[in-house]
């Protein structure tokens, strides 16, 4: 059962890179609702993904085709555990997910069923793995560089803007040669740090284009419902109010820059007072604080934090 809240809140869902062996295990052991989600996803996949999530090895969990459904499973299981613990879960005023996390937001906002979200993420992960092998590349985080300077670096190096996390944290994607050049240029331009990321490829860049056709076919085969919670899109950085708007968002998301800084600012400007990061880790919590130090952000990713949320509610 759900109900509206009087203060404005938003649910945020983490993306790839937030995974860790053992995530969600205490939810599985202590929440029937969470256990049902993990078991359902194992059934959909036809294999024991939960064994990899809970026991590893880390190298296997990190593979794109495993990491993506694992993160989705953990986020949705956390949300269902929150609903179970409170009995009357607050309906957020907005929801958003960072990259892969957008697919968790689709399930929570009612755009896709859990089954369809899992099928879509599974195919997304598989196609992205193939694209990574066909067009090798990587990603680099630039710290202390603003968006305008990052665009200049991209023009000079051939790299592409992949994610704008905060006003001074930008992720670039591209082939290894362009990224090496981008690091050199960024260092000269005064970047505090230029950090190569441990990822399988150049996500949210043109190097993912080999995956686009296959992903579009799956997207077009599914029924997209209008969200009952405003969904703030990665690409649009605005509210997506119909299933067709969400469908178009997903057709663009794979090869387009994630506008996370603008997404959070859109919600702040809309009067969101409190953010909840739902799923493993605190990556988004750190980003929200860097975007607005005064923002209230709570991480919910294990059974203790679920109970704390229920008690506060």
176 counts as catalytic: no
| Catalytic pick among 98, 157, 162, 204 | 204
* Alpha carbons 44 and 244: distance in angstroms, whole number: 25
3-state secondary structure 237-291: CCEECCHHHHHHHHHHHCCCCECHHHHHHHHHHCCCCEEEEECCCCHHHHHHHHH
Burial class (CB in 10 A: 0-12, 13-18, 19+), 42: middle
- For residue 92, give the DSSP letter: P
285 counts as catalytic: no
User: Angle at Cα 193 formed by Cα 16 and Cα 207, nearest 5°?
Assistant: 45
| Catalytic pick among 99, 109, 157, 256 | 99
User: Angle at Cα 40 formed by Cα 37 and Cα 44, nearest 5°?
Assistant: 135
Asked if 68 and 215 count as a contact pair (C-beta separation under 8 A), the reply is no
Q: Give catalytic residue positions.
A: 99, 204
């Amino acid at each position: 059962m759900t109900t509206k809240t009087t203060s404005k809140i938003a649910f945020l869902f983490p993306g790839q890179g937030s995974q860790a062996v053992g995530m969600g295990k205490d939810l599985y052991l202590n929440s029937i609702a969470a256990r049902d989600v993990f078991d359902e996803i194992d059934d959909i996949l036809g294999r024991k993904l939960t064994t990899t999530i809970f026991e590893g090895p880390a190298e296997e969990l990190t593979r794109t085709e495993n990491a993506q459904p694992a993160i989705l499973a953990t986020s949705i299981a956390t949300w269902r555990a929150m609903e179970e613990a409170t009995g009357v879960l607050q309906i957020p005023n907005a929801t958003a997910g960072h990259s892969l996390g957008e697919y968790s937001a689709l399930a929570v906002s009612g755009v896709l069923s859990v089954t369809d979200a899992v099928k879509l993420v599974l195919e997304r992960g598989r196609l992205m793995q193939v694209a990574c092998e066909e067009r090798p590349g990587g990603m680099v985080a630039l710290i202390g560089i603003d968006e305008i300077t990052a665009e200049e670096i991209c023009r000079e190096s051939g790299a592409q803007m992949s994610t704008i996390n905060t006003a001074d944290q930008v992720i670039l994607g591209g082939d290894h040669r362009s990224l090496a050049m981008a690091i050199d240029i960024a260092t000269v331009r005064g970047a505090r740090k230029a950090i190569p990321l441990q990822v399988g490829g150049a996500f949210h860049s043109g190097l993912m284009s080999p995956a686009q056709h296959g992903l579009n076919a799956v997207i077009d085969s599914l029924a997209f419902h209008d969200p009952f919670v405003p969904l703030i899109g990665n690409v649009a950085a605005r509210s997506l109010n119909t299933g067709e708007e969400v469908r178009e968002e997903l057709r663009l998301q794979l090869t387009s820059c994630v506008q996370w800084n603008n997404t959070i600012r859109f919600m702040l400007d809309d009067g969101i007072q409190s953010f909840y990061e739902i799923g493993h880790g605190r990556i988004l919590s750190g980003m929200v604080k860097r975007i607005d130090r005064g923002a209230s952000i709570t991480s919910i990713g294990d059974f203790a934090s679920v109970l704390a949320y229920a008690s506060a509610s």
